[in-house]
């Protein structure tokens, strides 16, 4: 009787493992293309240009974040 229970337990574990391993291929995610329409800020050479550079970098980061959010929404919708 113990042998039958042990064989059933091994069978259940084997079926669970087979289901996990052979469940199909995972969803393919496309990598976003390089964002070429956003200009990268130039590094300042004078100390007086640093505040303007900070504003440019903040704008650049915000533009990239918005673009990636849009790409993520499109990926979630399957487009």
**In the numeric block, which tokens belong to residue 43?**
């590094």
Q: How many Cα atoms occupy the beta-carbon half-sphere of 31 within 13 Å?
A: 2
The domain spans of the chain are 35-79
pTM (2 d.p.): 0.45
Give φ, ψ of 34 to 5 degrees.
-65, 140
Tell me, what DSSP letter sits at residue 46?
Answer: S
pLDDT digit string (tens) for the chain, length 79 residues: 999 999 999 999 999 998 888 766 666 666 656 555 556 777 888 999 899 999 988 988 998 899 999 989 888 887 5
């Amino acid at each position: 009787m113990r042998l039958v229970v042990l064989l059933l337990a091994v069978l259940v574990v084997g079926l669970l493992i087979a289901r996990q391993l052979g469940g199909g291929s995972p969803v393919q995610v496309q990598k976003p293309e390089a964002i070429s329409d956003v200009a990268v800020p130039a590094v300042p050479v004078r100390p007086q240009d640093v505040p303007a550079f900070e504003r440019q970098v903040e704008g650049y980061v915000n533009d990239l974040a918005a673009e990636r959010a849009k790409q993520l929404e499109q990926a979630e919708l399957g487009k």
